[in-house]
Amino acid sequence: MAAENKATNITWHEGHVTREERAGLLKQKGCTIWFTGLSGSGKSTLAFTLEHALVQRGRLAYVLDGDNIRHGLNKNLGFSAADREENIRRIGEVAKLFADCGVLTMTSFISPYRKDRDLVRALHAEGKLPFIEVHVSTPIETCEQRDPKGLYKKARAGQIKGFTGIDDPYEPPLRPELTIDATSTSPQEGAALLLEYLQKQGLVS
Amino acid sequence: MAAENKATNITWHEGHVTREERAGLLKQKGCTIWFTGLSGSGKSTLAFTLEHALVQRGRLAYVLDGDNIRHGLNKNLGFSAADREENIRRIGEVAKLFADCGVLTMTSFISPYRKDRDLVRALHAEGKLPFIEVHVSTPIETCEQRDPKGLYKKARAGQIKGFTGIDDPYEPPLRPELTIDATSTSPQEGAALLLEYLQKQGLVS
């Protein structure tokens, strides 16, 4: 390595870069926006619409969803009760890391059990990081009619067992920060409501 | 919710924000800088020095280390062979997500086994994300003399079993992107070398 690497312009700092320093850099405050709702309710569409809207405004947003989690970090988890719980726990921990890094982090998973979501909320509270639970409350009739992945059809035919809303419960949040029903709210309108919420909370300007 | 939320200024986009869009926003390319080396070799000091240098330059960097991983995502893992492997696998998957999000991601773990590190390298190659393996090659004599956490002393006394370098092997990388020996290179000098490497690779400007 060349001898001229003297690093004279690098200031030595003990410890970590603070959350505030990263927030100043990004001009936003990291948080987790947790979408929960039935399969086909419109969680991912809403998340990706908001992601685009935020990035258009120069803000850093990122979506954790089945595509990048189930085939990666959680590929060694199945659908037993214990594995479903561990699935949400790991997603919650990763979202917390992203939020700590300053990212406007969105998660798009059915996450049907209140207990699991409340655990993730508690993790964020412990880390003093905002947790915004968004209930995508589209009724099951609409979700089943849409059935974008053909999963309801398979569940009704008994080809999928333990399908949320059919033969496994969905426990709606008791006090979500926001509730959005995709029957009456378009993805664009939903994203605008969320953006307004983030602005009101001082998370983005 | 107010009726004026018409979202007329939000453009609808199908699919995800691309990696290129986020890179343009952040003016950097996401990557994983994987520090590997003995306990006490100076991995974390180097990582946090580089993190500060990058953030000072307006770049988004984040360190995954024992503090934010072992007490969170991986708190249900112990030190069995299988758990050590799963520990590194999960860290690799999370680093990959951060890199995909555009973050200059650093990991600071002993990660003693070549097989586990090569698996993480392969994960990144699969995702077309840069993976920079940095061998912090400080000799064990120096590490043991420093012994910042008193772990070598405990390992020598038999109070810790399977301690890397004492009664468990450390497998040095065969072709690391960079090798830094903290005996002859200060953290500032090491961070400068790394910064120069990132610039040469076109990951930061």
B16 and chain A: CB distance < 8 Å anywhere?
Answer: yes
Amino acid identity, position A205: S
CB-based contact B60:B23 (threshold 8 Å): no
Q: Radius of gyration over alpha carbons of chain B, in Å?
A: 19
Q: Which residues of B70-80 are buried (b: 16+ CB within 10 A; e: fewer)?
A: eebbbeebeee
How far apart CA A71 and CA B91 sit, in angstroms, is 15
Per-residue confidence (pLDDT) for residue B2, from 0 to 100: 34
Per-residue confidence (pLDDT) for residue A12, from 0 to 100: 54
Q: pLDDT of B130-186, one tens digit each?
A: 999 999 999 999 999 999 899 999 999 999 999 999 999 999 999 999 999 999 999
Per-residue confidence (pLDDT) for residue B12, from 0 to 100: 54
How far apart CA B74 and CA B90 sit, in angstroms, is 8
Reply yes or no on whether the pLDDT at B5 is more than 50.
no
Please name the residues between 25 and 44 in chain A that touch chain B, using a CB distance below 8 Å. 25-26
B95 and chain A: CB distance < 8 Å anywhere?
Answer: no
Per-residue confidence (pLDDT) for residue B79, from 0 to 100: 85
A186 noted as active-site residue: no
Instruction: Tell if the CB–CB gap between B188 and A12 is shorter than 8 Å.
Output: yes
CB-based contact A84:A170 (threshold 8 Å): no
Q: pLDDT of A77-92, one tens digit each?
A: 988 889 999 999 999 9
- Tell me the two tokens of residue A69: 């989690």
Candidate from A7, A21, A97 with C-beta closest to B55: A21
Q: pLDDT of B92-142, one tens digit each?
A: 999 999 999 999 999 999 999 999 999 999 999 999 999 999 999 999 999
Q: How close B17 comes to chain A (CA, Å)?
A: 6
pLDDT tens for the 205 residues of chain A, in order: 333 334 445 455 556 899 999 999 999 999 999 999 999 999 999 999 999 999 999 999 999 999 899 989 999 998 888 999 999 999 999 999 999 999 999 999 999 999 999 999 999 999 999 999 999 999 999 999 999 899 999 999 999 999 999 999 999 999 999 999 999 999 999 999 999 999 999 999 8
Chain length of chain B: 205
Beta-bridge partners for A132: A33
B96 and chain A: CB distance < 8 Å anywhere?
Answer: yes
A97 and chain B: CB distance < 8 Å anywhere?
Answer: yes
Residues of B in contact with A1 (CB under 8 A): 193
How many Cβ atoms are within 10 Å of A23's Cβ, its own excluded? 14
Check residue A201 and report its DSSP letter. Answer: T
Measured CA to CA in angstroms, residue B170 lies from A62, B30, B67 at distances of 36, 28, 22
- Enumerate the active-site residues of B: 111
Instruction: Annotate A110-124 with DSSP letters as a single string.
Output: ----HHHHHHHHHHH
Q: pLDDT of B37-95, one tens digit each?
A: 999 999 999 999 999 999 999 999 999 999 899 989 999 998 888 999 999 999 999 99
Per-residue confidence (pLDDT) for residue B4, from 0 to 100: 39
Q: H or E element: which one contains A132?
A: strand A131-136
Q: pLDDT of A168-184, one tens digit each?
A: 999 999 999 999 999 99
Per-residue confidence (pLDDT) for residue B80, from 0 to 100: 86
A48 and chain B: CB distance < 8 Å anywhere?
Answer: yes
- Tell me the two tokens of residue B191: 């961070």
How far apart CA B75 and CA A49 sit, in angstroms, is 34
Reply yes or no on whether the pLDDT at B11 is more than 90.
no
Determine what percent of chain B falls in helix, strand and coil, rounding each to the nearest 5: 45, 15, 40
Instruction: Tell if the CB–CB gap between A17 and B51 is shorter than 8 Å.
Output: yes
Nearest CA in chain A to B193: A5
How far apart CA B85 and CA B70 sit, in angstroms, is 14
